[in-house]
Amino acid sequence: MAKREYSTDELVAVLAGFGIVNVAKVERYGSGHINDTFKADGTDGVSYILQRINTDIFPDPDAMMENIERVTKHIRAKGGKSLEVLGYHNPWRLYAFITGARTVDLIENSSQAFLAANAFAKFQNDLADLPEPRLHEILPKFHNTLSRLELLDAAAKADVKGRLASVAQEMDFVNARREEAGRIVNAMATGEIPERITHNDTKINNVMLDDVTQEGVAVIDLDTTMPGSALYDFGDMVRTSTAAAAEDEKDLSKVFSRKEYFEALVKGYLKDAKFLNAAELDALAFSGRLITLTIGIRFLTDYLAGDTYFRTAYPDHNLVRCRTQLKMVKSMEDQRDEYEKIVRETAAASR
């Protein structure tokens, strides 16, 4: 999907609808692939995050906002920092701007990996006792790799853009890994891996890091917070936080998973994720490979389908992203024994 442009007048009018009339500046912000995000500064020095929810992808924004309100109030009641919804008029919403902290697209050091993973562990911990009812399942089967494979197969069969022939290598890579694709969903179906409240988009740029201490002060981007597996959250941290290069790096020699960041993630996560059972611990290293493969499958599917889902900046953007993900999977596979050992030793030490 190409980026949609908004005029300043349009944005100022939306802000006025939320009662913000003293706008000094409003501009696009962040690097997300789905929603349109803007930072608005008031003449009084107060800033806001204005977002247009992508309703093609999130068909029930009311349910999403209900989840977000419940989750953020619960975290705040425990003394934690969270997003603060200032207003919502479908499809627009306004958040208070969190100050004194920032996000990074590419991790800068091991300490950040430790602190970001620890923030996501605390987030899951904080939500473990969220009172009933169950959160809305905003995007059903979101991380279900078996369903994602079905969608890939359908897109390959339709081949609407005639791109299938050019992705034979990528299809082969995915096909060689079909057998392990169901490991987590199948274990969830038997109850071996429990359902928990999870974030489901634990990219490194979805945690605000304190400007001074680097600590993860608030987990943001709560659109997909819903019932899921804790493993998907840990896995997506591995995908994004151990990557040595950007998600859309074209030079694949720069793309690999960094062991020292993996180790920091495991330590930061296990410090507070005491709730994990044996089956979850056993699949922790695997979850990084699985989620990365899953996101690679999603980019490939979108490429074959003609770029209708993720925001793209150029024609092959989704293919470039797919290739980095598959390279990351390969890199994690190459370090599999070391990664499994790190998890085993850290888990044993933290019990």
Contact footprint for ligand GN1 (CB under 6 A): 32-34, 57, 201, 203, 221, 224, 247, 295
Instruction: Give min distance, CB of 44 to Mg ion, in A.
Output: 27
Binding range to ligand ADP, per CB under 6 A, among 11-19, 20-28, 90-98, 146-154: 90-98
233-to-51, 229, 312 alpha-carbon distances in Å: 23, 7, 24
CA-CA distance, 115 to 124, in Å (whole number)?
14
Q: Closest CB to ligand ADP belongs to which residue?
A: 32
Judged by CB, which is closer to ligand GN1: 235, or 268? Answer: 235
Nearer to ligand ADP, 184 or 235 (CB): 235
User: Considering the rule CB under 6 A, would residue 220 count as an interface residue with ligand ADP?
Assistant: yes
Our finding on whether 34 is near ligand ADP (CB under 6 A) is yes
216: contact with ligand ADP by CB under 6 A: no
Nearer to ligand GN1, 221 or 282 (CB): 221
Residue nearest to Mg ion (CB): 221
Which of positions 25-44 make contact with Mg ion (CB under 5 A)?
A: 32
Taking phi first (over 0 means left), then psi (-120 to 50 degrees means alpha), and beta for anything else, what does residue 94 get? Answer: beta
Name which of 6 and 171 has its Cβ closer to ligand ADP.
Answer: 6
- Interface with ligand ADP in residues 54-83 (CB under 6 A): 83
DSSP 257: B
Chosen from ligand GN1, Mg ion, ligand ADP, none, partner binding at 247 (C-beta under 5 to 8 Å by type): ligand GN1
**8 Å CB contact between 91 and 244:** no
Q: Is 193 in the site for ligand ADP (CB under 6 A)?
A: no
The strand pairing partners of 101, in sequence order, are: 210
Contact predicate 252/245, CB 8 Å: no
The one-letter code for the residue type at 18 is: F
Closest among 107, 62, 117 to 263, alpha carbons compared = 117
Name 139's bridge partners: none
CA–CA distance from 313 to each of 4, 158, 202 (Å)? 11, 24, 23
Question: Which residue lies nearer to ligand GN1 by CB, 29 or 111?
Answer: 29
| Given 15, 35, 122, 235, the residue binding ligand ADP (CB under 6 A) | 35
| Residues making up the chain, counted from first to last | 351
Contact partners, residue 269, CB within 8 Å, separation at least 6:
117, 118, 120, 121, 234, 237
> Considering beta carbons, is residue 33 or 122 the nearer one to Mg ion?
33
Answer for which of 11, 14, 15, 49 binds ligand ADP (CB under 6 A) is: 49
- End-to-end alpha carbon distance in the chain: 46
Name the binder of 346 from ligand ADP, Mg ion, ligand GN1, none, CB < 5-8 A by kind: none
Record the tokens describing residue 247, joined without a space.
């998600």
Contacted entry of ligand ADP, ligand GN1, Mg ion, none for residue 97, CB cut-off 5 to 8 Å set by kind: ligand ADP
For residue 80, give both structure tokens.
């934690």
Give the Cα separation of 49 and 239 in Å (integer): 26
* C-beta of 37 vs 111, nearer to ligand GN1: 37
**Residue 49 interacts with which of ligand GN1, ligand ADP, Mg ion, none, CB < 5 to 8 Å by class:** ligand ADP
Which residue of 124, 206, 225, 257 would you call a contact of Mg ion, by CB under 5 A? Answer: 206
